[in-house]
Amino acid sequence: MASPPPVLNHYRNYRPTFDLAPTVEILLRYVPEEHLAGLKYVELTNSTSSRILRRGKTWSRRKKVQMANCLGFYCGDHIKILVDNLLQSVSPLFVRIPLTRAVLVGMVLYHEIGHHIHSVHRPAYKEKEDVADQWMTVLLRQFLIRRYWYLTPARKPIGFALRAYGRWKYGMAEFKMGSRG
């Protein structure tokens, strides 16, 4: 059995309020080995750690976006997660709860692993972001079922509460995880 890729911390002038490396390592353990083949490492960094991140732009859903505003990147042989952007999107209280922390980090990590699967293992002729979102949903669902199996009876009430919170917080009639506007 091969071990998952290592998790590297690479911050510049930034100290995260919470160490996410153990959470990323746990999330990687639940991904099948064949999907991680070819992935060298996962890097946790901040949005101002390099000139490329500060000044660079990338394409997302046929639009150019600044790299410093993204949550993560798939870089061919590794994944970068911008921890400062990720942590500023939620309350520090939620980051302390293992389940919500796993879902928060898992959505970004599994989305980027979805890009890796799409480009290396299972190419599909669809929008890249849509394919990565589909893989994120599959991998996150598998993780939650295997890691938090005891929450299965509470799945429907928790889903209802999350949708109600999303409608209240974002003022949307139809709220789905992963879409904020």
Residues 92 and 48 in one domain: yes
What's the residue count for the chain? 181
- The residue written with tokens 């042989």 in the block is 77
Which helix (H) or strand (E) covers residue 45, if one does?
strand 41-45
Q: Tell me the sheet residues that pair with 43.
A: 8, 80
The reported pLDDT for the residue numbered 179 is 43
119 and 171 co-located in one domain:
no
Check the CA dihedral 80-136-32-95 and report its sign.
positive
95: domain CATH number?
3.30.2010
Which one-letter DSSP state was computed for residue 67?
A: G
Domain match, 43 and 117 both: yes
According to the model, what pLDDT value does residue 26 have? 95
User: Whole-prediction pTM value?
Assistant: 0.81
Whether residues 14 and 54 share a domain: the answer is yes
Instruction: Check whether residue 179 and residue 95 sit in a common domain.
Output: no
Residue 2, domain member (yes or no): no
15 domain residue, yes or no: yes
Q: What is the pLDDT of residue 124?
A: 73
For residue 171, give Cα distances in angstroms to 87, 127, 165.
22, 27, 9
Output the pLDDT for position 180.
41
Statement to judge: residues 29 and 73 lie in one domain: yes
Give pLDDT < 50 ranges for the chain. 174-181
User: What tens digit of pLDDT does each residue of 33-70 get?
Assistant: 999 998 999 999 988 877 777 666 676 777 777 777 78
Q: Is residue 54 part of a domain?
A: yes
Helix then strand then coil, % of the chain, to nearest 5: 55, 15, 30
Structural domain tally of the chain? 2
Domain that holds residue 177: 153-181
**113 Ramachandran zone, left/alpha/beta (phi>0; psi -120 to 50):** alpha
Q: Rounded to an integer, what distance in angstroms lies between the CA atom of residue 132 and that of residue 34?
A: 16
